Amino acid sequence: MPVLVNGSPADQLPVCDRGFLYGDGVFETLRFQASTIPLWAYHRARLEKSLVRLGIDCDIDVVASDIQQLLSQVDTTEGVLRITVTRGDGQGGYAAGDGVPRRVVASKPLPAMAHASANVRLCDWRLPVQPALAGIKHLNRLDQVMARREWSDDTVFDGLLMDATGALIESTVCNLFIRSGDQWLTPDLSRCGVAGVMRAWLLAEGLPALGYDPDVRDISLTQLLNAEAVFLCNSVRGIVPVTRLIAPEVHWPVDAVTQQLQRTVEALWHA
């Protein structure tokens, strides 16, 4: 599959790139269909916010041009793009300097979507609290790597992560929504966690279109255990209903709202 580095075909990066050395950069993972990216406006908004937060001066319009160039080269009608923007080459040490940002756009096949519903587990690993980095998708994913090392059971779709206070935040690759009574809730990500693009769409469009005003708040383990329905979401897999939590053992039904959201997202991708 093709890869572009600063707009040119390439398959290597310099070892002095600060993204490699320090995780000094951000990334987006986008699903495309027939050379279009249905959620591009949300990805673009988060990418701009992430770059500003890290102080990386990169023109988003140039990134958008890279994307269209790569999409013109792929030989499949659907798949996944990863956009990575690093601070560029470093001169040694943590000081950022004034290097030129490096843009990497790569494609890969759409992963198998075998999970009509999902089993999840609780991770022992806790997310550190760092409000300055909360919400953005920076390159340092070591917390997710360490959490994912906790299981090898292929029947477990993902692990749920809490912060140091015991508040639920997300899974290793998805955002979390629960239904409590008639209210849909998703965790507050102002202290840590990734504010996902599918989460943003659900808050702004998906759930309001079904008559719900979703609430962003701290969610405890007790609230999760007592939920009427649970689902995970991200911009590649869409909506994944959660039907079982392992240890403690809890089961949830796949409710009608979750099913409707799944249909809406599929229509969005295949419009």
- 148-162: pLDDT as tens digits: 999 999 899 999 999
Average pLDDT rounded to a whole number, residues 63-74? 95
Average pLDDT rounded to a whole number, residues 82-103? 89
Percent of the chain past pLDDT 70, that is, above it, reads 99
The residue behind tokens 């000081």 is 95
Q: Is the pLDDT of residue 205 over 80?
A: yes
**How much is the pLDDT for 119?**
96
Tell if the pTM clears 0.85, that is, is over it.
yes
Helices (H), the chain: 18-22, 40-54, 60-71, 142-148, 197-201, 221-225, 256-269
Q: Which residues, 6 or more positions from 103, have their beta carbon under 8 angstroms from its beta carbon?
A: 4, 5, 6, 7, 58, 62, 63, 66, 83, 84, 85
Average pLDDT rounded to a whole number, residues 36-53? 96
- 114-141: pLDDT as tens digits: 667 899 999 999 999 999 999 999 999 9
Least Cα distance to 210 among 261, 156, 170, 158 occurs for 261
| Total residue length of the chain | 271
Average pLDDT rounded to a whole number, residues 173-194? 97
